[in-house]
Amino acid sequence: MFMTTNNDRATQKWTISQLNKFINVSTGALAIAMSRQWTKEKTVLRSRTAVLQLDPRRAYILLAPPLAVMVLILVISVTVVWFYRMDRIHGMYLVEVSDLVAFTQNSDISAISKATSGINKDSSVLGNIRVRYGITQEGQIGLGSADAISSFY
């Protein structure tokens, strides 16, 4: 920007943000000055800005992603059941925490499960273990006892 009062090259280089601030301040000052000279009554200056918003007539489109997920879950569930029936696998059941802990390959949990292997399976020893998913002491990612495992972050 060139100023007639100063020909110094350092003052002639304005950044975009400085130009934006200059334009905003000068436009606001001009609007206030013009509003005061027209009338002495109360003046309202309105400014309008385009804002992105949802069209209420098309809100049903927002149902598409959750419906697509639900359809995929249904398709995967039916496919898994169909594969299990074709292969005659009858062992689909929900796993309890004690079963999951008993078959874990981490050393800290496998030591506990080996120690309780002689106890009745319905024992609450394995069910009372606090288990957490993270990085084990061996540096593996998996299940481990809650006090012996570290988080990912």
Segment 2-39, tens digit of pLDDT = 455 555 555 667 888 888 888 888 888 887 777 666 66
> 107 Cβ partners below 8 Å, 6+ apart?
136, 137, 138
Percent pLDDT > 90 in the chain is: 12
Residue 49 resides in a domain:
no
Same-domain check for residues 82 and 121: no
Q: What's the burial of 58, exposed, middle or buried (CB within 10 Å: 0-12/13-18/19+)? A: exposed
Q: Which one of 86, 108, 124 terminates a domain?
A: 86
Residues 120 and 81 in one domain: no
Q: Which amino acid is at 45?
A: L
Q: What is the pLDDT of residue 7?
A: 57
**Do residues 100 and 127 make contact, with C-beta atoms less than 8 angstroms apart?**
no
Distances from the Cα of 35 to the Cαs of 19, 26, 39, 82, in angstroms?
A: 24, 14, 7, 76
Helical residues (DSSP H) of the chain, grouped into ranges: 16-38, 64-86, 97-102, 107-115
The Cα–Cα gap between 18 and 36 comes to 27
Provide the token pair at 6.
């100063």
Contact between residue 111 and residue 125 where contact means Cβ atoms under 8 Å apart: no
Does the pLDDT at position 40 exceed 70? Answer: no
For the chain, the average pLDDT equals: 75
- Provide the residue range defining the domain that includes 108: 97-145
The total domain count for the chain is 2
**Mean pLDDT in residue range 76-105:** 76
Whether 107 is in a domain gets the answer yes
Structure tokens at 32: 């206030």
Q: Residue 68: which pLDDT band, with cuts at 50, 70 and 90?
A: very high
Does some domain include residue 12? no
Which amino acid is located at 114 in the chain? K
- The verdict on 102 and 137 lying in the same domain is yes
pLDDT of residue 55: 86
Confidence of residue 1 (pLDDT cuts 50, 70, 90): very low
Q: Are residues 69 and 103 in the same domain?
A: no
Please state the pTM of the whole predicted model.
0.33
- How far apart CA 127 and CA 69 sit, in angstroms, is 33
Structure-model confidence comparison of residues 145 and 91, the more confident one: 145
